[in-house]
Amino acid sequence: MSVSASSSSPSPVPVLSEKQVDNLLAAKEDEHGGVIVEMSTTQPPMDPIVFTSLLKASILHWKQQGKRGVWIKLPIELVNLIEPVVKEGFYYHHAEPKHLMLVHWIPETTNTLPANASHRVGIGAFVMNENGEVLVVQEKSGKFQGTGIWKFPTGVVDEGEDICSAAVREVKEETGIDTKFVEILAFRQSHKSFFDKSDLFFMCMLQPLSFNIQMQEREIEAAQWMSFEEYASQEFVQKHDLLRYIAKLCIAKRDGKYSGFSPVPTITSFSNKPSNLYFNTKDFDFNSS
């Protein structure tokens, strides 16, 4: 099955001999009756026409085996193999900077493939010291650059990161302050945050464990402890009802009059993976039957 890599004129797909049918793409079975092919850049480069033959034979094989979803993961270095995969009936499932995942549903039945990720997740951090001062920053870039607005530290939850860990990490990165996660005071869901994707923003309360600010130069213009009243009286806070609500929740929390959601570690049912369940633990009787 040697085909010149330089030829790009369309050629009829060769009928594979029995021997050649043995020559299939390496695939792992998944837990849902499907298979996943992870193409690697460490293998010798593959000609798109050779690849197409292998793919056609493999799909036939998987079909005969009664497989359902077929996944193909292509690193960006193998960008030349995307077109042959799409021509065999695959579509895109998701992409990360350095790879594209394509999928093809073999059966006639409605596909039960998992939906793509739809939300980005961010955090904001309410950190108050014993003097009733709150930790605030000015950002070097973005829409608040140069505005002089003091805001709570915020950031994006990394892939695979717990919300509570992300809040502690972002505060440490931006200000050098060590903290302990207390609870989620509120969260906001918004849409079309970037292209058609949505956004979940979790407003977290953290307890400071250190007090000397060491500002991150790359992202942060300024950082300080500021009286809560001074923070809340900024025109920027007063004129946005979202920020006014959050400021009121912070005050109610400070005064012991508010309960948010705290993380409780559980084993995710069915998959045996640890995960956090966040709920109002103050209202919850852990000892009830």
Which residue, 187 or 225, has its beta carbon nearer to a second copy? 187
Query: CA 155, CA 116: separation in Å to the nearest integer?
Result: 22
Which residue, 106 or 157, has its beta carbon nearer to a second copy? 157
Site for a second copy in 126-145 (CB under 8 A): 141-143
Annotated catalytic, 108? no
39 binding a second copy? (CB under 8 A) = no
- Pick from 120, 79, 70, 115: nearest CA to 97: 79
Which residue, 224 or 259, has its beta carbon nearer to a second copy? 259
Q: Which of 35, 53, 93, 174 binds a second copy (CB under 8 A)?
A: 93
Residue pair 139/219 in contact (Cβ under 8 Å)? The answer is: yes
Q: Which of 40, 65, 112, 131 binds a second copy (CB under 8 A)?
A: 112
Query: CA 176, CA 262: separation in Å to the nearest integer?
Result: 24
Site for a second copy in 187-216 (CB under 8 A): 187-198, 200
Site for a second copy in 245-284 (CB under 8 A): 245-246, 248-249, 251-252, 257-261, 264, 266-271, 273, 275-280, 283-284
Residues 161, 173, 219, 221: which is the catalytic one?
A: 173
Which residue, 208 or 260, has its beta carbon nearer to a second copy? 260
Q: Which of 120, 169, 172, 254 binds a second copy (CB under 8 A)?
A: 120
Site for a second copy in 19-38 (CB under 8 A): none
Residues carrying an active site annotation: 173
